[in-house]
Amino acid sequence: MDFISKLKKNSTLVEEKMRLYTSRGLAKKKIEKTKRLKGKEVVDKSILKEIKLYSKVRFGSTSYWPWLVLYTEIRGEYCPGWIPNDYYRIILRKKYNPITARYFAEYKSLDHKIFKDFSFKYLIYCISQKFYKGDGTPISDINAQLILNDFDDEVILKPELGWKGVGIEFLHSSCIDIKQLSKKYDFLIQPKFDQCSEFNKINSNSLNTLRVFTYLEPGNEPEVKYAVLRFSLGTSRVDNTSSGGGFIRVLEDGKLAESYYNSLCIRKDNVHPFTKVNLNELSVPNYNTVITKCEMAHKLFPYVRFIGWDVAIGKDEIPKLIEWNADDPAFWEGEALFGPLFDDLMT
C-alpha cells in the first residue's frame, strides 16, 4: 500500500471513530433525558453487562452499548438482537445504502420519473433556474408564473433538497415571484393535498402521512418491517417528529395500535391531545394498497436496502408518495420500539 492509500485509509478510520464518538454522545444525552421524563431507570448493572457482552459478540466491541441502553430505557426491557443506531449509520449504512445511491431520494423532482403514478405531482418545479411542469415538461419562467397565477390558491413551497420539513412554506400562489426565488435555490411547488377523512379526524391542520419502512434482502422481495402514521400534535401544519409531531404504529390490518408516541419515543395514550380523537377507533384506508405500492416502489430502486416511504392518502383513498428517505429513514426509532427488526441480518 502506497503512502497516499495509507493516508486515505487512516483518514477514513479517524473520521469513522469521530462519528461513532459523536453518535454515542448523542445517545447518552437521550438516555438521561428519557430517564428523567419517564421518572425511572430500567438498565441496572446486570443488564448493562449483558448489553456489553452482546455488543462484543455481535459487533466486535463493547463500545456500542449507548444506543442499546437507550432502546432499553425507551422500550422498558432489553431485547437481544437489536442493531444500535451508531452501527447502522456508520458501519452498516455505507454498505447497504451506499452514498452514491441513497442521495437520489433527496432530489424530489426525480420522483415522478422513477415512481410514475405513485409519486405526487407538483404544479411546477425549478432546477438550476430552469422551470418545469409537474410532469417534467420544460417551460419558460413566464409560463410557470402564469400556471401559478391561474391556480389562484394556497400552495406549498418546498426546497428541492429540503430535510425533515425544514424550509417548507405555505403561500398563496399569486404571492410568489418564481424568477426571483429561482436565484436563491431550487424548489418545487405543489397544491394542497386533500387527505382522506380518517386522517382529517386526527388533525386537519397537518398533512398526516404514513412512514413505511421497507427492507430489501438481495435475491428476495422487498418486505415491510414496520409502518407508522405521523401527525401534528397541535396547530403545526407539518407532521414531522422533528417539528414536535407524534406517531402511532399501524398494524397489519391497517388499524392503529393502542397508543401513540411523541417525538422522544415516549409512549403516551390513545387520545390525540389536541383534537381529542380516539386513535384506536380509526384505521388506515386502503392500507393493503399502500403496502403493495411501497414494495413495488422499492423494486424500482433496488440500489439500497433500507427505505422509508412517506405516503399520504387522498380523499379518494388513493395513496400518493410524498417523498422517500434512503439516508435517515427513522431506523433507530423503529428498531427500539418495534424491533428487533433484523435479528437474522448478517452484520
Cβ-Cβ contacts under 8 Å for 345 (sequence gap 6 or more): 83
Domain of 284, in residue numbers: 104-113+195-338
Lowest-pLDDT range of 26-35, 63-72, 268-277: 268-277
User: What is the C-alpha separation between 54 and 68, in angstroms, rounded?
Assistant: 10
The CATH number for 186's domain is 3.30.1490
* Interacting residues of 34 by C-beta distance below 8 A, sequence separation 6+: 70, 73, 74, 264, 265, 266
The letter for the amino acid at 172 is H
The count of C-alpha atoms lying within 13 angstroms of the C-alpha of 241, restricted to the half-sphere facing its C-beta, is 19
State yes or no: pLDDT of 12 exceeds 80: no
Query: Domain boundary residue among 191, 217, 242?
Result: 191
DSSP secondary structure, 209-275, as one string? EEEEEEE--TTS--EEEEEEEEE-SSS-S---GGGT-EEEEEPTTSBEEEEEE-TT--B--SB-TTT
Count of CB atoms within 10 A of residue 7's CB?
11
Q: 37 CB contacts (<8 Å, ≥6 apart)?
A: 264, 266
Of 146, 163, 191, which marks where a domain is finished?
191
Do 211 and 255 sit in the same domain of this protein? yes
Q: Of 4-18, 63-77, 156-170, which gets the smallest average pLDDT?
A: 4-18
Are residues 300 and 204 both part of a single domain?
A: yes
Q: Are 41 and 152 part of one and the same domain?
A: no
Give 36's DSSP letter.
H
Do 79 and 164 belong together in one domain?
Answer: no
Domain end call among 164, 191, 218: 191
pLDDT in tens, 221-264: 999 999 999 999 877 766 666 667 899 999 999 999 989 999 88
22 part of a folded domain = yes
Local confidence band at 5 (pLDDT 50, 70, 90 cut-offs): low
Q: Is residue 345 domain-resident?
A: no
Would you say residue 9 has pLDDT above 70? no
Output the pLDDT for position 341: 94
Q: Is residue 347 part of a domain?
A: no
Average pLDDT over residues 133-146: 93
What's the one-letter identity of residue 182? Answer: S
Residue 56 lies in a domain: yes
Q: Are residues 80 and 136 in the same domain?
A: no
Comparing 265 with 15, the larger pLDDT belongs to: 265
pLDDT for position 176: 92
- As a whole number of angstroms, the distance between CA 294 and CA 85 comes to 24
Q: Which residues, including other chains, have CB under 8 Å from residue 340's CB and lie 6 or more apart? A: 79, 80, 81, 82, 83
Band the pLDDT of 267: cuts 50, 70, 90.
very high
> Average pLDDT in the 129-146 region?
94
Lowest mean pLDDT segment, chosen from 87-96, 106-115, 126-135, 337-346? 337-346
Residue 8 has pLDDT above 60, yes or no: no
**Total tally of structural domains belonging to the chain:** 3
Instruction: List, for residues 281-320, the tens digit of each pLDDT value.
Output: 999 999 999 999 999 999 999 999 999 999 999 999 999 9
Whether residue 87 lies inside any domain: the answer is yes
**What 3-state DSSP class applies to 161?**
coil
Residue with the bigger pLDDT between 50 and 328: it is 50
Do residues 133 and 246 both lie within one domain? no
